[in-house]
Amino acid sequence: MTLSRREFAKRSAVTGAGVALAGSVGVLAGAPGALAAVPGSRVGYGPLRPDPRGMLALPDGFSYRVVTRSGVTRLVSGEPTPSNHDGTAAFAGPRGTTLLVNNHELGGPRSRWPHPVPLAPGLAYDPAASGGCTVVEVAHDGHVTEWVGIAGTSTNCAGGATPWGTWLTCEETEDRAGQNGMTKDHGYVFEVDPHDTRANRAPKPVKALGRYAHEAVVVDPGRGHLYLTEDASGPNGLWYRWTPPAGFRHGRGRLRTLADDAGVLQAFRCTDSRGRFVDDLSRATRPGTVYGVDWVTVPDRDARRVPVRKQFTDGRVTRARKLEGMWWGDGGAYVVSSYARTESPVQHDGQVWFYEPRRRTLTLKVLLGVNPHPEREGAFDGPDNITVSPHGGLVIAEDGQGLQHLFGALGDGRTYPIARNELNDSEFTGVTFSPDGRTLYANIQEPGIMLAITGPWRHQGR
């Protein structure tokens, strides 16, 4: 059903009345010295202090420890921890432990990587593929145990946690059998149960969710829809919604029981307040911009002949460059467009949008202007993985140029640093809080290091 202009105006007015993360974010995040707090405020946790160990700069009172490190720590099977840590989610485990499912973004043949995900018996989809997930159990005393959750998948980038306590890992590739050494088609979503290894045996892709360069996925716990981002260019990628078939009930392992064509996969189409079609999200240059959203059915979700994003002619769907992380919170989905360059109508260094399904509106919450000096402290660019903080606002992992940060963003437009990578120029990934909110987990993607950050967390605002 298409929104009428009158319906859109009414919904825009309500949505825009309390625009979170708007204000001067675009100015703050793109200007040197933007990290200085407003006088008299208690935003953030203060300046970052250099790390004597040369890994992670943190504010006073905060500390970190290494949970896993590629090639150094070991799985229960004896093999080294795989490399290239990416999307991660935390779950409450048995006896007060925390279970973390950690993607490993490894593409192409296994010979390309010194530490691919081991082909654990019964857990490999394609024995030629390098990627997959590991499950990391962290006990109260800090003891760490790690094992394979799924193997033989490719380029496991982001993903998303489900309300029923599993992880959906996404392949950011379109490789078919015979390409890059693969023996099976790739570009799918797989479900991984961190609580039950037996449930992960004989991995089966959820083909109903489509085959394309998947990035992240979230689940609407009320309506049952799944929303999925695509990180692709030439043309730019799409944002998707999957509607389950009538009578389907979500739960552990139920997605893998679906027929390949079950439900309806659709791509988004945006219009502005005047009902005009919006071809690319980069057109929005002001925080607080609100678009109406309609959904257009994908003709061939398995992309047998033509990639999904190329199945739509100009004017049919809205596109965006680097559609990356997502997180469900506040009754909707936060969606990241990491940056836009010459392949997009307007350049920027990052957007965070909020989709409210009840009103079918998409609101620009964070806009990062092009960062002219990414090698200098005092500015952010390239948001990627994202989480809603239990202490208020958002925590965002930076995958930009120059310095790499974890940073927070608040409802009044202020941003603040949480950590800076001092080891190398690799991006941060997999930002997620422990179930009790006391520990922030994040990864340095290369070589692959999972970190646990603790300190005097306090409420920061909406």
Q: What does the pLDDT look like over 11-65, one tens digit per residue?
A: 444 443 333 332 233 333 333 223 323 333 578 999 999 999 999 999 999 999 9
Taking the mean position of all CA atoms in its chain, how far away is CA 352? 11
Cα(175)–Cα(184) distance, rounded to whole angstroms? 9
Q: Extract the tokens encoding 252.
A: 């552990």
- The 10s digit of each residue's pLDDT in 416-454 is 999 999 999 999 999 999 999 999 999 999 999 999 999
Tens digits of pLDDT across the chain (462 residues): 444 433 434 444 444 333 333 223 333 333 322 332 333 357 899 999 999 999 999 999 999 999 999 999 999 999 999 999 999 999 999 999 999 999 999 999 999 999 999 999 999 999 999 999 999 999 999 999 999 999 999 999 999 999 999 999 999 999 999 999 999 999 999 999 999 999 999 999 999 999 999 999 999 999 999 999 999 999 999 999 999 999 999 999 999 999 999 999 999 999 999 999 999 999 999 999 999 999 999 999 999 999 999 999 999 999 999 999 999 999 999 999 999 999 999 999 999 999 999 999 999 999 999 988 888 888 899 999 999 999 999 999 999 899 999 999 987 768 899 999 999 999 999 999 999 999 999 999 999 999 999 999 999 876
pLDDT single digits (tens) 381-420: 999 999 999 999 999 999 989 999 999 998 776 889 999 9
Is the pTM higher than 0.85?
Answer: yes
Report the C-alpha gap between 322 and 311 in whole angstroms.
19
**Percent of the chain whose pLDDT exceeds 70:** 91
Cα–Cα distances in angstroms (integers) from residue 164 to residues 133, 185, 255, 297, 330, in the given order: 18, 28, 12, 27, 18
